[in-house]
Structure 1
Amino acid sequence: MNRILALDFGLRRTGVAITDEMNIIASGLTTVDSRDLMNFLQAEIPKLGVGTIVLGEPKRLNNEDTHSSENVRLLREALEKNFPLQKIVMVDERFTSKMAFQTMIDSGLKKKQRKNKAMVDEISATLILQSYMQQMGM
C-alpha cells in the first residue's frame, strides 16, 4: 500500500507528515526549509513509497484566498510536474496552526518549547493528514 504524505507549506518552513505503511496512523516526519523542499521530496518520496501528497490549502473563514494561496497553487503545479505518478490533493488547513499550538499546550510542553515554530508546522502537517484520512474514511 502506498503511503500518504502531507505538507503544511510556508514561505520559510514546510511541515511534513506521513502515514505508516498501512495508512492507519499519521505522524509528523520533519520540518524542511521551504527552499529545500523539492530536493527533500525528490529524495524521500521514492524511498518512503508515497502514492498521495496532501497539500494544506490556506483559506480565510469566508472561504477567500489568503496571502499564501498563490504560493500554494504554485507549489501544487510544481508537485504535479515533478511527481506525475503521485496523486496531489488539496485539503482545507484552516485552524491547523491554532490546533497544533493547543496540542502542544495539552501535551504539557513548556512555554519555551511551544515557541518552536518548526514543531508547530510539523504538527499542523499531521493535522492536515489526519483530516484527509478522516475524509477518506481511513
Structure 2
Amino acid sequence: MAKYGRLIGIDVGTKWIGVARSDLLRTVANPVGTYHTSEIMEGLKELVENEQVEKFVVGWPLTPEGEEGRAIKMVRKFLTRLDEHFPDMEVEKVDERYTSKEAVRAMVEAGVPKMKRRESDRVNQAAAAIILQKYIEMQNTDNVRITDRYV
C-alpha cells in the first residue's frame, strides 16, 4: 500500500538551510527555498501546518571516507532544535556527501547562469532536493538503512 504525505528534505549550513519537499506520493523532490538559520523553524512550521508532512529527511555530513565530518556537530545542534519544535515528527538522516557538487552540476546542465549558481541559497535548496531524492530512491528500492532519531 502506498504512503501519502510529504517528506521535507533539509540541507543544514552554517548560515543558510536549504529545504525541499516531495510530492504526496513521495516520488520526486523539488526545492522549496532557503532559510536563514534564525528563521528555519518558522519556515518548517509553516510547511508542516500547510502541507501533509510526514517526515523530515536531514543531510548527514560524512567525509569522503564515510566518517563523521566536522559539520556533524552543527547538524546535531540543528537536530536538537528540530526535536524541540517538532517532537512528534519522524526524522531520518541521509548521507549528503557530494550533494552540493551535484547541485551545482545540475544547475550547469539546466543552463543556470554562473552568477546565479554562485548564490548559496540556490545551491542549498538544490542540495536539499538531491538529499531528499536520494532518500526517495532508496525507499523505492528498499535499500534504505533506517537510522534512529537523534535526540
TM range (shorter): over 0.9
Residue of structure 2 equivalent to 1:73: 76
How many Å apart are 1:85 and its aligned residue? 2.3
SS in 2 for 1:99: helix
For 1:112-123, list aligned pairs within 5 A: 112-123=115-126
Are the aligned partners of 2:28 and 2:136 in contact in 1 as well (CA < 8 Å)? no
Residue of structure 1 equivalent to 2:16: 13
SS in 1 for 2:31: strand
Is 1:102 aligned to 2:105, yes or no? yes
TM-score by structure 2 length? Answer: 0.86
CA distance in 2 between partners of 1:58 and 1:25 (Å): 22
- Using the aligned pairs only, state the percent identity: 28
CA distance in 1 between partners of 2:67 and 2:129 (Å): 24
Q: Which runs of 5+ in 1 are unaligned?
A: none
Residue of structure 2 equivalent to 1:54: 57
Give the partner amino acid of 1:95. Answer: Y
Residue of structure 2 equivalent to 1:124: 127
Are the aligned partners of 1:51 and 1:85 in contact in 2 as well (CA < 8 Å)? no
Are the aligned partners of 1:15 and 1:122 in contact in 2 as well (CA < 8 Å)? yes
After the TM superposition, which of the residue ranges 77-86 and 122-131 deviates more from structure 2? 77-86
TM-score by structure 1 length? Answer: 0.93
CA distance in 2 between partners of 1:67 and 1:39 (Å): 26
Structure with the larger helix share: 1
Residue of structure 1 equivalent to 2:5: 2
Q: Which runs of 5+ in 2 are unaligned?
A: 142-151
1:9-66 Cα deviation digits (max 9, x unpaired): 1011000000112212210001111111112212221211211000000010122222
CA distance in 2 between partners of 1:44 and 1:99 (Å): 25
CA distance in 2 between partners of 1:19 and 1:44 (Å): 12
CA distance in 2 between partners of 1:133 and 1:63 (Å): 21
1:67-110 Cα deviation digits (max 9, x unpaired): 21111012112222321221100000000000001111111122
Residue of structure 2 equivalent to 1:111: 114
CA distance in 1 between partners of 2:102 and 2:93 (Å): 19
